[in-house]
Amino acid sequence: MFDKKVRDLRIIATDIRKDILRSLYAAKSGHTAGSLGAADIFTVLYFDFLNVDSKNPDDDHRDYFILSCGHICPALYSTLANKGFFDRSELGTLRKLGSRLQGHPHRESLPGIESTSGPLGSGLSQAAGLALALKRDGKQNKVVCLTSDGEHDEGNTWEAVLFAHKYHLNNLTVIVDRNRIQIDGNTEDIMPLGSIREKYISFGWGVIEIDGNSIPQIIAALEKSTHERTKPLVIVANTTPGKGVKLFENDYKWHGKAPNEQEFLQAMNELEAEHLRALNAKE
């Protein structure tokens, strides 16, 4: 049963990656590497872990997902569309004038969008405030926040880390997309982050470190996050930027660039091949 679940999630992740590329190609701009790299995380969150309902997106009992690194919203939009929050045909309007799918997500512009994000470093503060409010109201909703490694250059991130520890926010799980790139180059060249794992431990958090493109490891880490705990938890997810397309993988130049026609067709061929491999995988 577990193998079948992993296979099915791999298929969904590939479909999400294809929709990401379709929307970026139509827009002729946007963030390719991070969106593709985080697709496995989005897939497991929305199709296995989070209590969310596309037919009732404002349910009081829902879990909350906060996207701090809003520039990878093509992955969020594609995931929400594949989950049924809105029609997939709308993905072709990414970044278009008047579209609900702008280059950074806006709260209430689409069902399922819980926060507005754009300025990096603010999402964790939003998530921590939400988690504290839920705790004080005696509610059991989970809060998950996805952050980039690059935005850990921002001081506001570490203020939120301190805040979450102080208030014992055991309903808060942070996922750090540790892809080691940002718009100007490698994170360790721009502003060395060292061991994010050790930093969070020193701030009093629980830490799990995983391969962020391994669906079984993502599932296992999120399941551990639901166990009884007394402090906030961070999952350091080591991902490959541009995952699934060799041309894009591990190249920081794709942080904020969309593919041209030739690159798009090449990428879609690779993803179609991956889709077939996932379909043919043994249960």
Which tens digits make up the pLDDT trace of 158-168? 999 999 999 99
The pTM score is 0.97
Residue 135: pLDDT band with limits 50, 70, 90: very high
For 198-236, what is each residue's pLDDT tens digit? Answer: 999 999 999 999 999 999 999 999 999 999 899 999 999
CATH number at residue 95: 3.40.50.970
Residue 282: pLDDT band with limits 50, 70, 90: low
For 168-204, what is each residue's pLDDT tens digit? Answer: 999 999 999 999 999 999 999 999 999 999 999 999 9
Q: What mean pLDDT do residues 129-135 have?
A: 98
Domain that holds residue 113: 2-280
Residue 238: pLDDT band with limits 50, 70, 90: very high
The answer to which of 23-27, 114-118, 237-241, 264-268 has the lowest mean pLDDT is 114-118
pLDDT of residue 228: 85
User: CA-CA distance, 281 to 150, in Å (whole number)?
Assistant: 35
Give the count of domains, the chain.
Answer: 1
DSSP bridge partners of 234: 174, 207
For 16-75, what is each residue's pLDDT tens digit? Answer: 999 999 999 999 999 999 999 999 999 999 999 999 999 999 999 999 999 999 999 999
User: CA-CA distance, 135 to 31, in Å (whole number)?
Assistant: 35
Residue 283 has pLDDT above 60, yes or no: no
Pick the closest to residue 164 from 136, 137, 129, 117 (CA basis): 129
For 96-125, what is each residue's pLDDT tens digit? Answer: 999 999 999 999 999 999 999 988 899 999
Three-class SS of the chain: CHHHHHHHHHHHHHHHHHHHHHHHHHHCCCCCHHHHHCHHHHHHHHHHHCCCCCCCCCCCCCCEEEECCHHHHHHHHHHHHHHCCCCHHHHHHCCCCCCCCCCCCCCCCCCCCCCCCCCCCCHHHHHHHHHHHHHHCCCCCCEEEEEECHHHHCHHHHHHHHHHHHCCCCCEEEEEEECCEECCEEHHHHCCCCCHHHHHHHCCCEEEEEECCCHHHHHHHHHHHCCCCCCCEEEEEECCCCCCCCCCCCCHHHCCCCCCHHHHHHHHHHHHHHHHHHHHCCC
Residue 1 has pLDDT above 80, yes or no: no
User: CA-CA distance, 41 to 44, in Å (whole number)?
Assistant: 5
With contact defined as beta carbons under 8 Å apart, do 101 and 91 qualify?
yes
Instruction: Work out whether strand 233-238 and strand 185-186 pair parallel, antiparallel, or are unpaired.
Output: unpaired
Torsion angle of alpha carbons 66, 234, 6, 91, nearest 10°? 20
